[in-house]
Chain A
Amino acid sequence: MKTVQLLSQLFIPAFILGVIFYGAVRKVRVYDSFVTGAKEGVRVVVKIFPYLLAIFVAIKSFQASGAFDFAKEAVRVMLGAFDIPLEAISMALIKPLSGSASLGLFTDIVKTTGPDSLASRLSAVIMGSAETTFYVLAVYLGAVGIKKTRYLVPVCLVSDAVGISLAILIVKLLS
């Protein structure tokens, strides 16, 4: 694990140094290239902003109106027979919606239930294995201005549900 951590830390500096060095050796005006590329980057982020705003408004109002609490309660009742801690259900529902909220919730679960509890382990695996799907969709689709997404969104949502269920199942089997 130390090796992987070291590789992760070295990856970016080594890559950036390598690129600049290679460019300089090839007599590219690296500074001018960098600035030209960065300008393009600014344009892309400006293009993404409205998509991000739209998705954040939907998610935040969903949470603030009490609709999210209702969904959580509904899932808890439906899964009553499986003996899954409520904390893990909250985690499973919040992770696809918001990265910062899920990190906050995870820290809170670890603090209140202890770092080696079933709730903490379930939340940890959900935290590590699920992605903030709505954010990824808004940013990646917004970056290229795709409007017709065909069957992508349903596939992503079903895969999220399956992935999180698998995470819960795996932790329960291994615990």
Chain B
Amino acid sequence: MNAIWVFLIGISIVFAAINGRFEDFTKSIFDAARSAVEVSLFLLGIVALWMGIAKIIEDSGLIHKLSAVFRPLVSRLFKNIPEDHPSITSITLNFLANLFGLGNAATPLGIQAMQDLQSLNKDPEKITSEMMLFIVINTASIQLIPFTVIGILADFGSKNPSWVVFPTFLATILSAAFAVGALWICRKALK
């Protein structure tokens, strides 16, 4: 991330100089600060809401029942997660929320899943293979039906807005498969 950050900022400064856009550049930085606050406020609400619900799941013992149900789904992909670990539940719920296009619910569940996976991590600053797999599947954004996109197409009078369902699903499945394969190859090659 460090290299990318330096690269993006460096390139931006060079282009701002070439194009004489220093005013835009400065404005964009303050815009970014405002956006970060707005997005964080939004996150604050939904993450606190979910963590509250999650605590009830934990305290009532429901977490063990859910993990037992979800284990067969997750254990095939995530081999190094011990039986009855809370990450099984948070990972599955995050995948379900993504699958049903519930982006607002998926983010707090994903944060929870990362924290649960972190509890299994021996070196807290270094990412584990399970975390990488989890993030990569998330960025492939597998969803059954892209409601937002269909909604916009329909609003503007598309004759067949649901045409996009099949190609979108196919593209996400294939890109997820590619990403998981790429991770696997990197792990074997860079051992």
Name A65's contact: one of B19, B57, B126, B157 (CB within 8 Å). Answer: B19
Which B residues lie within 8 Å of A41 (CB)?
A: 44, 47-52, 108
B80 at the interface (CB under 8 A from A): no
Name A159's contact: one of B12, B13, B179 (CB within 8 Å). Answer: B179
Name A63's contact: one of B19, B28, B39 (CB within 8 Å). Answer: B28
Name A4's contact: one of B15, B100, B105 (CB within 8 Å). Answer: B100
| Cβ–Cβ contact A65 & B145, under 8 A | no
- Whether A11 contacts B164 in the complex (CB less than 8 A), given A37-B55, A128-B143, A155-B183, comes out as no
Q: How far is the CA of A8 from the CA of B146 in the complex (A)?
A: 11
B40 at the interface (CB under 8 A from A): yes
| Cβ–Cβ contact A66 & B102, under 8 A | no
Which A residues lie within 8 Å of B69 (CB)?
A: none
| Cβ–Cβ contact A34 & B53, under 8 A | yes
A54 at the interface (CB under 8 A from B): yes
Which A residues lie within 8 Å of B114 (CB)?
A: 140-141, 143-144
| Cβ–Cβ contact A33 & B4, under 8 A | no
Which A residues lie within 8 Å of B148 (CB)?
A: 103, 127
User: Which A residue sits closest to B55, measured CB to CB?
Assistant: A37
Q: How far is the CA of A158 from the CA of B16 in the complex (A)?
A: 27
A84 at the interface (CB under 8 A from B): no
- For chain B, the count of residues having a C-beta within 8 Å of the partner chain is 106
Q: How far is the CA of A141 from the CA of B121 in the complex (A)?
A: 13
A83 at the interface (CB under 8 A from B): no
B149 at the interface (CB under 8 A from A): yes
Which A residues lie within 8 Å of B48 (CB)?
A: 37-39, 41-42, 45
Which B residues lie within 8 Å of A174 (CB)?
A: 166-167
Q: How far is the CA of A108 from the CA of B110 in the complex (A)?
A: 31
Which A residues lie within 8 Å of B21 (CB)?
A: 64-66
Query: Using a CB-CB cutoff of 8 Å, which residues 65-113 of chain A contact chain B?
Result: 65-67, 70, 103, 106-107, 110-111
Name B55's contact: one of A4, A40, A140 (CB within 8 Å). Answer: A40
Nearest CB in chain A: distance from B103 CB, A: 9
Nearest CB in chain A: distance from B148 CB, A: 7
A14 at the interface (CB under 8 A from B): no
Which B residues lie within 8 Å of A37 (CB)?
A: 48, 51-56, 58
Which B residues lie within 8 Å of A115 (CB)?
A: 153-154, 156-159, 161
| Cβ–Cβ contact B146 & A19, under 8 A | no
For B1, B8, B123, the residue with the greatest tally of chain A CB atoms inside 10 Å of its CB is B1
- Whether A28 contacts B171 in the complex (CB less than 8 A), given A139-B107, A146-B126, comes out as no
B68 at the interface (CB under 8 A from A): no
B135 at the interface (CB under 8 A from A): yes
Query: Using a CB-CB cutoff of 8 Å, which residues 99-143 of chain A contact chain B?
Result: 103, 106-107, 110-111, 114-116, 120-121, 124-125, 127-131, 133, 136-137, 139-141, 143
15 pairs, CB–CB < 8 Å, chain A vs chain B: A11-B97, A45-B47, A60-B29, A61-B13, A62-B8, A65-B24, A103-B148, A121-B164, A124-B168, A127-B149, A131-B139, A136-B138, A136-B139, A140-B110, A144-B114
B residues apposed to A, CB below 8 Å = 1, 4-5, 8-9, 11-16, 18-19, 21, 24-25, 27-29, 31-33, 35-36, 39-40, 43-44, 47-62, 96-97, 100-102, 105, 107-108, 110-111, 114-115, 117-118, 121, 123-127, 131-132, 135-136, 138-141, 143-149, 152-154, 156-168, 170-172, 174-175, 178-179, 182-183, 186, 190
